[in-house]
Homo-oligomer: A and B are copies of this chain.
Amino acid sequence: MADSWVNSWVNSWVDSAERIGSDLHLELTGPGGRRAALIRALREAVRSGRLAPGTRLPPYRSLAADLGMARNTVADAYAELVAEGWLTARQGSGTRVAERAEPLRPAARVPKKSPPRARGPRHDLMQGTPDTSAFPRAAWLASYRRALQQAPNEVFGPGDPAGRVELREALTEYLARARGVRTEPGRIVICSGFAHALRLLFGGGVLRGPLAVEAYGLGFHREVLAAAGVRTVPLPLDEHGARVDRLGRERSVLLTPAHQFPTGGPLHPARRAAVVDWARARDGLVLEDDYDGEFRYDRKPVGAVQGLDPERVIHIGSVSKSLSPAVRLGWMVLPERYVDAVRATKGEREAWSSVLDQLCLADFLTSGSYDRHVRRMRQRYRGRRDRLVTALAEHAPHIEVTGVAAGLHAVLRLPPGTESSAVKAAAWQGIALDGLAAFRHPETDMPAVDGLVVGYATPSEHAYGPALEALCGALPPP
């Protein structure tokens, strides 16, 4: 099984490759001839489960070429295994591994993981997810096709760690137009979403803690920061948003200025100005989480704080709310002085975000599909929001609804001390939602606010009515 075999293998290679079969890895060792070794190897592969029932084997000519064996030898081995019941051969469908009642897989010893997300609740009102039934499949596919067809070959080589320039150019135009962001493509770095941005900024040593954050915010972000060794210091909230006048020795502050998450109001214009003044005076930095800036309904658009001072604000956004979290794309708009460090942290080459998806999103933006989708979803979510407000006015007029001028969720205010039992009561009715307590910074000393966070974008259109009905039925009485 040495040199002569290698030679015949080489000679038959071209033939095999032209035939274009499929690959099959076999170890041919042990006593006896080559035919016996092949039978043993195939039998073992089926018995162990490496070749699953129904798997189609390569044509015998192709396998013979791959193994440098005579075709007859392989054909004989296949025939013997068919005779033994390991394989089946049917005209037109080739040779396959036989179906068995009990495949003897070694994996059978391993308890099969249960699916990660078991059957969900009947009514999903968790915040954070857009309506998954509304993904613009046709328009996205059209952009993907154009992007793939027009891509120069170098796209398929190592990528720029800042992300494709086509996408950074499209974002520059879009963010200026729709969000009032002032930047240029050289200052944008593409990433896989908001958490990835935090990891690149703090995990890579570009920024250091302590970082001021809003007293109510996403726990997942605090976890990412804690894992990077960053201490977070909570800023209390009032009716005008984060109390930026309470900023102390922190080097930077993370805010959701367009729509405080989760309580729902915009940062007051005076506070927007004040936080930029603070950053200028203290050589500080504002991290702007613009997670749902596109979805505003009743009030005047709130532009990005970044527009007030592009050298003092890192503006961070993604398509997770506007399109889908399945498209793992986000962006950082950076002050000039951080660009090199962030690019270096990302590595010499693009090691994260799909380059093809980046080109697709660039086309999706420049072709106007993104605007069309956002407008369509804004209308849909506004309708949902209105139905929520109307239903509550009718069935639970004692419950105040806040934070509904924008975004994909609302906050139902509750009397002090009643939140926990309200969340439990909802769960009993098959409703999944969070209370405000789930978002509270563990170290804040601001008084607790009781409320339910209702994600009205999550259910599909037909499931929303029943979810609202169930919600109204589960709310605490006056």
Contact = CB atoms under 8 A, between A and B. Distances in A.
A349 interface: yes
Interface in A109-162: 110, 112-113, 115-117, 128-130, 132-133, 135, 137, 140-141, 144-145, 148-149, 151, 153-162
Interface residues of A, number: 120
B325 A22 contact: no
Contacts of A23: 177-178, 294, 371, 374-375
A351 B301 contact: no
B17 A352 contact: no
A21 B368 CA distance: 9
Interface string A161-205: 110010000001100111111111111000011011000000000
A296 to B, nearest CB: 10
Contact of A195 (B55, B153, B193, B351): B351
Contacts of A192: 192, 351-352
A357 interface: yes
A180 B50 contact: yes
A420 B474 CA distance: 76
A176 B22 contact: no
Contacts of A458: 157
Given A55-B173, A177-B50, A326 B156 contact: yes
Interface string A345-356: 001111111111
Contacts of A298: 6, 9-10
Interface in A289-314: 294, 297-301, 303, 307, 310
Given A50-B180, A113-B186, A149-B137, A328 B301 contact: no
Interface string A315-356: 000000000111111000000100100010001111111111
Q: A-side binding surface: helix, strand, loop or mixed?
A: loop
Given A106-B310, A173-B55, A183-B107, A157 B301 contact: no
Contact of A13 (B106, B140, B382): B382
14 contacts: A17-B376, A22-B368, A25-B177, A25-B301, A27-B303, A107-B183, A113-B162, A116-B160, A117-B160, A141-B149, A156-B325, A192-B352, A220-B347, A354-B357
Interface of A: 1, 5-6, 9-10, 13-14, 16-18, 20-28, 45, 48-52, 55, 66, 105-107, 110, 112-113, 115-117, 128-130, 132-133, 135, 137, 140-141, 144-145, 148-149, 151, 153-162, 165, 172-173, 176-187, 192-193, 195-196, 220, 294, 297-301, 303, 307, 310, 324-329, 336, 339, 343, 347-357, 368, 371-372, 374-376, 378-379, 382, 458, 460
A-B CB proximity, top 8 nearest: A113-B186, A107-B184, A326-B355, A23-B178, A17-B379, A132-B156, A50-B176, A22-B371
